Chain A
Amino acid sequence: MFDLTGKTALVTGASGGIGGAIATALHSAGATVGLSGTREAPLQALATTLGDRAHVLPCNLSEAVEVEALPKQAIAAMGSLDILVNNAGITADNIFMRMTDYEWSRVIEVNLTSTMRLCRGVMRPMMKSRWGRIINITSVVGVTGNGGQVNYAASKAGMIGLTKSIAQEVASRGITANCVAPGFIETAMTDALNEKQKDGILTAIPAGRMGTGDEIASAVLYLASQEAAYVTGQTLHVNGGMAMI
């Protein structure tokens, strides 16, 4: 349905469930994809599965120097950088009273600061080509809050404010910036929950099930497309109705 032939996309956290699905969807639509993540082996495996038009670009998002270098590496590998998907994220949950400065700063650094750095790094090439798509994967909890996730929720809410501000600055240059906010999605992160926790979550989801990585990827694909050129500064919630915002 959406054609990204000739476009190039960098996806962070591509070794994870959602990131892999996003990279696959963009690739299927014809884009050349740069797969970034900390673990090289799963990135290599995904690149092999995708075949042509897939490049492995390992990066540790908690290292500023590596993050600054990533857009340049992506352009060197793919020739341009049209679409940036900031999908990588970590959690370090704790009740707030016990949350350490380290837990706070690590999550903010990886989820929010690296997103800012990568967005900044792609501005110049996107401004030059008068076309760009920034898609930041936030979370429903960035809007609703979530006990035990003060750091994670703050980082995800921060991404929304950052995205809206970028959207305002560069809308006149053909660059859009949007967020996709997943609810509960079947990933390794949610696999760690026990049955009782999962049942509790499902009662709060009108759709009665968790979402899939592919369902997040479809939202990203839409926002990356030419068809979404007039959509900017938005947060697209993909959560089975668990929060209607």
Chain B
Amino acid sequence: MSDIADRVKKIVVEHLSVEEEKVTENASFIDDLGADSLDTVELVMAFEEEFGIEIPDDAAETIQTFGDAVSFIKGAQ
């Protein structure tokens, strides 16, 4: 697993208090990991901070799963 994926996973695990095994490629933050809409905003904020990028609101809306987050961040760097 790439370094980016590891770092994203760490943020998700910490923020949503979920088991690491549950954070799979297609795991949806809201449907599978118990996030509410505010959690997803906070995750995006945490990604921005961790990776020093800016994720605009319209892009943030497309980040629904762990895999979405990793590929967006890879693309943004």
Chain A residues within 8 Å of chain B by Cβ, number: 7
How far is it, in angstroms, between the C-alpha of A172 and the C-alpha of B42 when the chains are bound?
A: 13
A127 at the interface (CB under 8 A from B): yes
- Chain A residues with Cβ below 8 Å from B38 are 127, 169-170, 172-173
Taking CB atoms, residues of chain B closer than 8 Å to A170 are: 38
A98 interface hit (Cβ, 8 Å): no
User: Shortest distance in angstroms between A168's beta carbon and chain B's nearest beta carbon?
Assistant: 11
| Most-contacted residue by chain A among B38, B41, B45 (CB, 10 A) | B38
Min C-beta distance of B13 to chain A, whole Å: 18
Which chain B residues (1-56) contact chain A, with CB distance < 8 Å? 38, 41-42, 45
Majority secondary structure, A binding face: helix
User: How far is the CB of B31 from the nearest CB of chain A, in Å?
Assistant: 20
Q: Which of A124, A169, A172 contacts B45 (CB 8 A)?
A: A124
Number of A-B contacts (CB under 8 A): 10
On chain B, the residues within 8 Å of A124 by CB distance are 45
- Label chain B's interface by main secondary structure: helix
**Chain B neighbourhood of A169, CB < 8 A:** 38
> Across the two chains, which residue of chain B brings its CB closest to A173?
B38
What CA separation (Å) do A173 and B42 show in the bound complex?
A: 10
Chain A residues with CB under 8 A of B42:
127
Which residues in B have their C-beta under 8 angstroms from that of A128?
45
Nearest-neighbour CB distance to chain A for B74, whole angstroms, equals: 24
Question: What separation, in Å, do the CA atoms of A173 and B45 have in the docked complex?
Answer: 14
Residue of A nearest to B46 (CB): A128
Q: Which residues of B sit under 8 angstroms from A173, Cβ to Cβ? A: 38
Q: Shortest Cβ distance from B24 into chain A, in angstroms?
A: 26
Query: Could you tell me the distance in whole angstroms from the C-beta of B51 to the nearest C-beta in chain A?
Result: 16
Q: How far is the CB of A176 from chain B (nearest CB, A)?
A: 15
- Cα separation A147 to B22 with both chains bound (whole Å): 60
Determine the chain B residues whose CB is within 8 A of the CB of A127 once the complex forms.
38, 41-42, 45
Chain A 59-83 interface residues, beta-carbon cutoff 8 Å to B: none
- CB-CB < 8 A to B45: which residues of A? 124, 127-128
State in angstroms the CA–CA spacing of A173 and B41 once bound together: 12
Please give the distance in Å from A127's CB to the nearest CB on chain B.
6
Name the residue on B nearest A124 (C-beta): B45
Nearest chain B residue, comparing its CB with the CB of A130: B42
Taken together as a complex, chains A and B put the C-alpha atoms of A127 and B42 apart, in Å, by: 8
Q: Find chain A residues with CB under 8 A from B41 CB.
A: 127
Q: How far is A127 from B45 in the complex, measured between Cα atoms in Å?
A: 10
Residue ID in chain A nearest B49 by CB atoms: A128
Task: Mark each residue of chain A from 116 to 129: 1 if its CB lies under 8 Å from any CB of chain B, else 0.
Answer: 00000000100110
> Closest approach, in angstroms, between the C-beta of B26 and any C-beta of chain A?
27
Separation in Å of the B15 CB from the closest CB of chain A? 12
Subset of 7 A-B contacts with CB under 8 Å:
A124-B45, A127-B38, A127-B41, A127-B42, A128-B45, A169-B38, A170-B38
Q: Which residues of A contact B (CB under 8 A)?
A: 124, 127-128, 169-170, 172-173
* Nearest 4 interchain pairs by C-beta: A127-B42, A128-B45, A124-B45, A173-B38
